[in-house]
Structure 1
Amino acid sequence: MKARDRLILIIVVAFGFAMRAPITVVPLIIDQLARGLHASVSNLGILTTIPLVMFLSFSVVAAKEMTRFGLRKALNFGLAALLAGACLRLWISWPTILLGTVLVGLGITHVNVLTPSVVSSYEPQRVASYTTSYSTAICLGTAIMSLLAGPLNEHFGWQSVLWSLMIVCAIPFVLWLFAPKSDYELRLSKRAEKSPSVKKGKLTDLLKSRYTWAFLIMFGSQSIINYTLIAWLPVLMKYHGFAQGQISVVLSCYSFAGLPVSLFLPRFLDGAKERTQAAISWTISLIALAGAILMFWQSQMPLAFWYYLSITAGALTAVFFIMALTLFPLKTTTPQKTAQLSGLTQSGGYFIAAFGPMLYGAAYKANPLGIGQTIAYVLMIALCLLSSLIVIKMPKI
């Protein structure tokens, strides 16, 4: 592997590490953060909702920025926002925490939308390999930072967790500064010099396709499961009387469950037939559905059940998240179209997901053991399955 390719691989891995940890680790120190802000824990639910609002509001904007200013400038802006937000959260006050969370969400939105374009722009022949590295880094980053949060909090104080997250955000920002221009960017520059009015595809064209909507529903369904579970599984387990240490390990299992999926699924999807891809969707959906149905009797369930629920939910969200990431470049012909499909899918998907933690919170307040929450989980699994079956049949655009 050439030095240039190694650098891009390291950058993609750094992107993955910074993708979820700045959001998902914060709930693990939510009690201490609430005390530091002199606020109730319930008021801090907005810190989970803000990133989702940024995702749904700016995913399409990130794709448009790439079309107008180029991949490099769009990512420069996103990574700078991510680092600035992480730094702001080191000053513990409501304004800095809120603004910092807004910027973190804005930065992650850009990285999330544009990384598939980075892969297709720099390594069009290695989409599966680089997507594997990226998705594995997302799982590892979330799991490692979740495991480190406890010891850091215990030995150095809860603020040290925020410092560690700032470092995770700083690394990709610095590395991207050294990234060379891709072959695709160089070809695009030469083409623009010869013909300044290069025709670009419109987002509205994608919106007319039922496959785009299937992508959106698949991504949104797995996102609503992911963000609702991350925000509320610790609270629900605490309600059932489990210790904080047990809850942390269960949540880490959720992240680690995605590791084998991220290691093997992208390569498998790249060469598999449609029937085989559909079999993957059916298998993981049925396995997760078993855990969802057992939620109707959650008050009688031992700790082993919560491990099963966490692992199967983690595998489910990983399969459909990675399926989307892998198929974005595989179903499109140019990095611009990749960014447009990725932007539209994630914007609409996160719009769906934004309602998850809020609606679950309202339902939990009314009845922590209500069957409505479980029914909603079953429906989300069904939507993931059905929409993925449509996405798999999508022709290349």
Structure 2
Amino acid sequence: MPHPHNKKIQSFWLITGIIFIAFNLRPAITSVGPVISSIRAELHMSNGAAGFLTALPLLSFAVLSPLAPKLGQRLGNERTLWLGLVILLIGVLTRSTGYTAALFFGTALIGVGIAIGNVLLPSLIKHKYPEKPGIMISLYTTSMNIFAALASGVSVPLATQMNGGWKQAFLLWGGLALLALLIWIPQLRHRDTANQTMKLQSSSIWASKMAWYVTIFMGLQSFLFYSSIAWFPEILRSHGIDTATAGWMALMQFASLPSTFLTPVLADRVKQQRGIVAALASVYLIGLCGLLAGGSHTLLAIWMIIIGIGQGSSISLALTLIGLRSENAQQAAALSGMSQSFGYLLAAVGPIFVGYLFDQTHSWTMPIVLLIAALIVMGAAGQGAGRDRYIFQSEKQRNSA
């Protein structure tokens, strides 16, 4: 039996490792948007190619998310997460060489590496901390969002000040991945056996209504988040904001941090999360309706903050629901793979469709109306996902009848 002091040390390194993996799940993506014009000019890329570059990680997420649980089942979650960090590091190094082919190939590898972390961290947390998943999801999602906002905010200053421009700025995030790799090494001695010893019910998870509620909620919050990251700067410019746009986008992302942290803690303390869903959807709706109405620069700043609160709550609640609606780590991995596969497919389509609507109407009214409609459907799915029920509970009840 491990000595209590050794258990504390092991717990410290595990929690630190989870936090540092979370640090790496967004910067390699959010650092691209602010410097995409520089990349396009230097490599003589078309707008279509530039758009595909920003969607490529999301497509990797969609393809790899259902496969990550199977890889975790074969290798163990700890080793698979380490492998994901290795792939992420290779992707960052490849992308930073500056060649067009390497840029796309490295970006695809980055998507693969991050997809593994996206899917398996909720499963690992479910297994290691079954009694307190809320606080761990809070730490994980808040850490992820902090570096997502940081990478978005510092990309242009770093690219401007460094001799290598955007290539050297991208390379810095390889250092963060390397640090996470080193911190995670103690976990390689362990092998999470939950995936081998616990099996899903006989029916596919894709047949579970509860799994679909969680999946639609996850998918539409991803649709809203990535659509806003792609197009809110242009929407703000249409309201007369120019040089302050980047700062206002960072304002939205940093405003999400308190709600990102608090939502899972609150969700873990109540049996049903339907009230939380209604509250966050209402706040989110106020922000989007305000953005639709426009107003002064002060009002627009308020709308961005309110939207940030809604976004922070929705992503952390979506990840929390994966654990709360699962009975074990294997179910959590399968539900995470399903919800994130569908979710990131929607996330990849979202910015493209929003841009298409603008091209057709030459106005941001219909694109924002589309986001409002997606939010309403997300809220409805959240009402189903927020019920106190496991993904296979209804099947169990039928089988025992």
CA displacement at 1:336 relative to structure 2: 1.1
User: Structure 1 294/393 Cα, relative in aligned 2: closer, same or farther at 3 Å?
Assistant: same
CA displacement at 1:28 relative to structure 2: 0.7
User: Structure 1 89/235 Cα, relative in aligned 2: closer, same or farther at 3 Å?
Assistant: farther
Q: Does 1:108 align with 2:123?
A: no
Contact 1:71–1:114 under 8 Å retained in 2? yes
Give, as a single letter, the amino acid of the residue that structure 2 aligns with 1:99.
Answer: F
- Bigger shift: residues 279-288 or 363-372: 363-372
Contact 1:36–1:92 under 8 Å retained in 2? no
Q: Does 1:369 align with 2:363?
A: yes
Partner residue of 2:254?
256
Identity of aligned residues (%): 25
The total of aligned residue pairs comes to 383
Partner residue of 1:72?
78
Contact 2:225–2:311 under 8 Å retained in 1? yes
CA displacement at 1:394 relative to structure 2: 4.4
Instruction: Give the distance between the partners of 2:79 and 2:203, measured in 1 at CA.
Output: 24
Partner residue of 1:330?
324
Q: Deviations over 1:86-140 (max 9, x none)?
A: 1111111210110011011111111000001221233333312211110110111
Instruction: Give the distance between the partners of 1:306 and 1:105, measured in 2 at CA.
Output: 33
SS in 2 for 1:257: helix
- Bigger shift: residues 147-156 or 341-350: 147-156
Instruction: Give the distance between the partners of 1:117 and 1:34, measured in 2 at CA.
Output: 38
Instruction: Give the distance between the partners of 2:188 and 2:375, measured in 1 at CA.
Output: 41
CA displacement at 1:382 relative to structure 2: 0.5
SS in 2 for 1:178: helix
Q: Does 1:211 align with 2:210?
A: yes
SS in 2 for 1:311: helix
Q: Does 1:293 align with 2:289?
A: yes
User: Structure 1 7/297 Cα, relative in aligned 2: closer, same or farther at 3 Å?
Assistant: same
Instruction: Give the distance between the partners of 1:2 and 1:61, measured in 2 at CA.
Output: 33
Instruction: Give the distance between the partners of 2:322 and 2:171, measured in 1 at CA.
Output: 33
Instruction: Give the distance between the partners of 1:280 and 1:395, measured in 2 at CA.
Output: 16
Q: What is the TM-score of this pair, normalised by structure 1?
A: 0.90
User: Structure 1 359/72 Cα, relative in aligned 2: closer, same or farther at 3 Å?
Assistant: same
Give, as a single letter, the amino acid of the residue that structure 1 aligns with 2:92.
Answer: A
Q: Does 1:5 align with 2:39?
A: no
Give, as a single letter, the amino acid of the residue that structure 2 aligns with 1:10.
Answer: T
Instruction: Give the distance between the partners of 1:283 and 1:334, measured in 2 at CA.
Output: 28
SS in 1 for 2:199: coil
Q: Deviations over 1:318-341 (max 9, x none)?
A: 212111211222222221111001
Select 1:310's aligned residue among 304, 307, 310.
304
Partner residue of 1:201?
200
Select 1:159's aligned residue among 153, 159, 167.
167
CA displacement at 1:387 relative to structure 2: 0.8
Instruction: Give the distance between the partners of 1:160 and 1:393, measured in 2 at CA.
Output: 47
Contact 1:83–1:173 under 8 Å retained in 2? no
Partner residue of 2:245?
247
Q: Deviations over 1:50-109 (max 9, x none)?
A: 111111111110012112332133223322211111111111121011001101111111
Q: Deviations over 1:193-240 (max 9, x none)?
A: xxxxx5622695321111111111100110011111111222333444
Please list every run of 5 or more consecutive structure 1 residues that lacks an aligned counterpart in the other structure: 193-197
Give, as a single letter, the amino acid of the residue that structure 1 aligns with 2:219.
Answer: G
Select 2:140's aligned residue among 134, 137, 140.
134
Give, as a single letter, the amino acid of the residue that structure 2 aligns with 1:324.
Answer: A
SS in 2 for 1:91: coil
Contact 1:19–1:112 under 8 Å retained in 2? yes
Partner residue of 1:345?
339
